[in-house]
Amino acid sequence: MVTRIPAQERHFVDLSWMQAYWLFSYGEWFVPDNVHLGMLRAFNDDLIQSKEGFGMHFHEELEIVTIMLVGQLTITDDAGERTTVHAGEVHRISAGTGTRHTERNEESDPARYYQIWVFPDKPGVMPSHEQKDFTQMSRQDRLLTVASGRGQPDAVTLHADASISLSTFSPAFALEYPITGDRCVLLYVTSGSISLNGTLLEQGDQGRVTGEITALSLSSATGGSFVLVDVAT
């Protein structure tokens, strides 16, 4: 089954230092039937203003993936590790047994990114980081997998039965995405429009796939870009 969730049903928050769209219950916004999709816990579309960000806070038993779109985000953890994620890069934190970190935009311009949380497939992993640069890798008319728990060497590694892919379709392009086993899929349209098994999704819309579907038919009449998150149920 494909469920379309229109862009206007995303939760918008404006805290002056941050503007964000949240796709799942997060922070003080709680909707009981919109807490997760299978093992996918959160998908946030965040804009952080200059010299602002999140102070030190705690996570455990999550795989946290940051897909940097514009600007830079500096992440510093309680072990003293400090890294800056640049536009076109993807950063993964395995929170595992527990980690504390800050996330700040230290630059003079706003920073925008997607942050995706996935539950791990087993508890108790040691906290770790990984980061890769995808600026030289094409996502045109193909799925570019940027994070995966399936041993894909070009992607950051997830300790989860999940994958995250990016794509940009040319007008009239189409492809089939096979689904094996019990899966849930989220497709988030970032520009243009995408058809998902015949359901038209416009910019900001989500398509949530559940149930017995063996393949996704993806196409675009006029061109479009999207993020595809494939997780275990």
Taking CB atoms within 8 Å and a gap of at least 24, the contacts of 144-152 are 146/65, 146/67, 146/90, 147/65, 147/90, 147/92, 147/116, 149/121
- Of 187, 169, 176, 192, nearest to 228 by C-alpha is 187
For residue 100, give both structure tokens. Answer: 């504390």
Where do the domains of the chain lie? Answer: 2-232
Sign of CA dihedral 176, 90, 43, 193: negative
* Contact call for residues 141 and 193 (beta carbons, < 8 A): no
pLDDT at position 7 is 98
* Contact call for residues 69 and 113 (beta carbons, < 8 A): yes
For residue 82, give both structure tokens. Answer: 């400090």
pLDDT at position 155 is 98
State the residue for tokens 């503007």. Answer: 19
Return d(Cα 189, Cα 66) in angstroms, integer: 17
pLDDT at position 180 is 86
pLDDT at position 195 is 98
**Residues of the chain predicted below pLDDT 70:** none
Give the 3-state DSSP-derived string for 10-66, with helices as H, strands as E and coil as C.
CEEEECCCEEEEECCCECCECCCCCCCECCEEEEEEEEECCCEEEEEEEECCCEEEE
pLDDT at position 212 is 87
Count, in order, helices (H) and strands (E) of the chain: 0, 21
> Could you read off the pLDDT of 185-219 as tens digits, one per residue?
999 999 999 999 999 999 999 999 999 899 999 99
pLDDT at position 121 is 94
| Helix-strand-coil split of the chain, %, nearest 5 | 0, 60, 40
CATH of domain 2-232: 2.60.120.10
pLDDT at position 16 is 96
pLDDT at position 181 is 87
Instruction: Tell how far CA 8 is from the center of its chain.
Output: 19
Sign of CA dihedral 231, 160, 149, 42: positive
Sign of CA dihedral 17, 23, 24, 28: positive
The neighbour count for residue 42, using CB atoms within 10 Å, is 18
> Could you read off the pLDDT of 78-88 as tens digits, one per residue?
988 899 999 99
